[in-house]
Every structure is written in structure tokens, then in C-alpha cells.
A = this chain, B = another copy of it.
Amino acid sequence: MYAARRFSGAPVKVTVIDRRNFHLFQPLLYQVATGGLSPGDIAAPIRTTLRRQKNAEVLLGTVTDLKPDAKLVVVDNTREIAYDSLIVATGATHSYFGRPEWEKFAPGLKTLEDATEIRRRLLFAFEAAEREASPELRREWLTFVIVGGGPTGVELAGAIGEVANQTLRDEFRHINPEESRIILLDASPRILSTYPEELSAQAVNQLIGLNVRTRTGLRVTNIDERGVTYLNNGDEEHIAARSVFWAAGVQASPMGKLLYDRTGAKLDRAGRVVVQPNLSIEGFPEIFVIGDLAAVVSEGKPVPGVAPAAMQMGRFAADEIRRRVQGQAEPGTFRYMDKGSLAVIGRAHAVADFGSVRLSGLIAWLAWLFIHLMYLVGFQNRILVFVQWAFHYFTFSRGARIIVGPGALP
């Protein structure tokens, strides 16, 4: 989206090809997964965003092949689209570290469908516990395990803590949602391992306030419908839980493999495409790879897979192409501008790392609030999200607490 918009007014023709008709604001997916926002609140139709950009058109479809020598993209196996320059930004998906069978028991959080599925399981777990006579099974239903202590896992765990301790308070007659066990597992020695150590420690404390327990240095060895098994210092342990959510591994979209097959581009261990300093593929200066799909080094450090980096790459790649169209053939060098990192932990708590400035608690949360509202695409969405957050802040209620989708009927 940022690349496409950067071409506004340029003497080029832009075609945006996407499998989905909307642009998803992924950083707020965990709020959909916990009933705080509706899917439509964090998704903006691509057509609306590009409506006034007359040199852009949108094509709903799946790219099924590439023919780089003929400069063609194949859509839905049938249609060929010719290009002069190609920007590939298909992102990343979950990785279950070679155990794809775990996905069924531990859904991840990458798409709107993932988010409504997690919401369904989360809300249903309390309903099932309320109906359950056996204290043991009730405890299993009220145990929630989040695998992965990065920002997504921390945000999801914090929001689940809020749901259990605040949103659902007084709503049940046979269970007490505040007795839920919410456990955040991580393989690293500490959660938020890319943050400074002091902020990791503060995050752990803020999570304890929401009744979330953190367990680190563990290696998950099995997940099934009854819970999670892991190795703790060589000892096998088991948590009996009916709800397990996955926020651990990420791998590049299958587009990386396709680029490898068609152009010989190098891939890194996570399947990401290793690009030139100007984000193009070696030997194919007209093909750029950006966002989570690209393995990029900026000033000697790998660029993290976060939204601001993807946005910067999008603008950079568009500028490269614009300069080339104007006859300036010298390739540039992408430089990542790290504006800092933020992870939110429930209502009014967060940790923020702006390099020299490190914040935690309410002030970090206010910074998070401001930045996320600014980046939400579309004027209406911003108002809607703000109204819901304001309401949520003062009442602890959540407006989108509905169990829908396939299997929604018990």
C-alpha cells in the first residue's frame, strides 16, 4: 500500500494484486481476537484507499506463478499481467517449526479469520467451563496457554488477562473467570527478547497484575487437544489446557520459494528473500522484495519484521522505480530508520523502547494509543476505534464479544 501510494502522480501505471479486498492493520489483530474491536474496524478496502489515485488499479486475485524472463505475473493460474517493475510484498505466515499438525490445536494470529477463530475459542472456553460439572475439566477449560513471548504473545496474553479479570466479571454463576490460569510460554530466557532487559522485567510485572504468569526457557515438544507438553531443563512437563494460542514462529510466505524457483534468489533460514542493498533481487533489477518477505541488512544489522520497516521499504522501492523511470539508473541503498518498539499490556500499560528513551506503564500506553490511531488507515476507522477504546477504557466492557463462524454452534 505504501509503495502504491508513493506512485501517486507519477507517469506510471500501478496494478495492486491482492488475495483480499482489504488492507489489514495487523498490530491490532489481537484486539479482534479478544473481542475489543470488530474485524471491519481494522481493515480498510484497498479500493477505497486508492480510489482517487487515477494511475492505480486493484485486482482481487492470487498470484500463482511468475515468469521473470517474460516479465509476467500469473494470477489465478489463468491470467497473465505484464510488468516493467515488480514489487513483491506478500509478508509472512506462521511457522510451527516442522509440526504443522499443531496448528489445529493452537491457532496463530495473522489473518482476520485467525482472529475470529481465537475469539471463538476464548469466549467458548468460559461457556464450556460454566456448563462443566467436573472441577478438573473446568480447570482445563479455564487454562489458557500462549506460546511465544514476543510482542504478539505479550499483547494477546495481556488482553486475555483483561477479559478474564475485568470484562467477564459477574457474568457467570458457576465459575469465577478471575480464577483462570493464563500462561505465557517462551523458549528464550526472557520475554520481549528484542527489548532492553529492564523493559522485559517490567512487562513481566505488568502481566502479573493481569494474572498472567510467564514461563521462559522452555521448549515445547507437543500440543494436542488436551494441552501443551514442554521440556524444562531437560524435564518433561505438561499443562492441561483446552485453549492454546500460537505466537511463536514466523516464516516467509510461499512467494519466497516461488521467487527462488524462478529467479534463483537466495533465501535465508526463515525462507525470506535475501535482497540487494536497494531491495531488488540479484540479476533482476526490476524485481523488488519488501516487508516481512525480505531479508534486509541495514547498516550492518538485520531489519526487523515490523510494520514501520515494511512501510519504509515500500516507499523506498517506489522511489527507486520512479528515479529509474526518470532515467537515473544508479541504484540506491535502503536505510532503516528505527523509530522504536512498543508492546501494550492490557489497559493502560505498555513498554516502549525509543532507543535512548525507555518508557513503561501509562505513559508508554498513551504513546502506543496515539501512534496506533495515527497509523490506522481511513478516517472512519480511527473514530470508531477511538470510541470503542474510550468506552472500553472506562467500563472494561468489550463490544465485539460474539462467537461466530464455522463451528460456532456448540
Contact = CB atoms under 8 A, between A and B. Distances in A.
Interface stretch (A92-100, A134-142, A383-391): A383-391
Interface in A100-132: 112-113, 116, 123-124, 127, 130-131
A61 interface: yes
A301 interface: no
A41 B41 CA distance: 11
Interface stretch (A165-173, A179-187, A218-226, A307-315): A165-173
A52 interface: yes
Given A39-B38, A40-B38, A410-B19, A112 B62 contact: no
Nearest to A15: B173
A336 interface: no
A148 B300 CA distance: 66
Contact of A170 (B52, B378, B410): B52
13 contacts: A20-B402, A21-B124, A21-B402, A38-B38, A40-B402, A41-B399, A45-B171, A48-B171, A48-B397, A57-B173, A60-B127, A60-B410, A405-B405
Interface of A: 19-22, 35, 38-41, 43, 45, 47-48, 51-52, 57-62, 76, 79, 112-113, 116, 123-124, 127, 130-131, 168, 170-174, 378, 380-381, 383-384, 387-388, 391, 395, 397, 399-406, 408-410
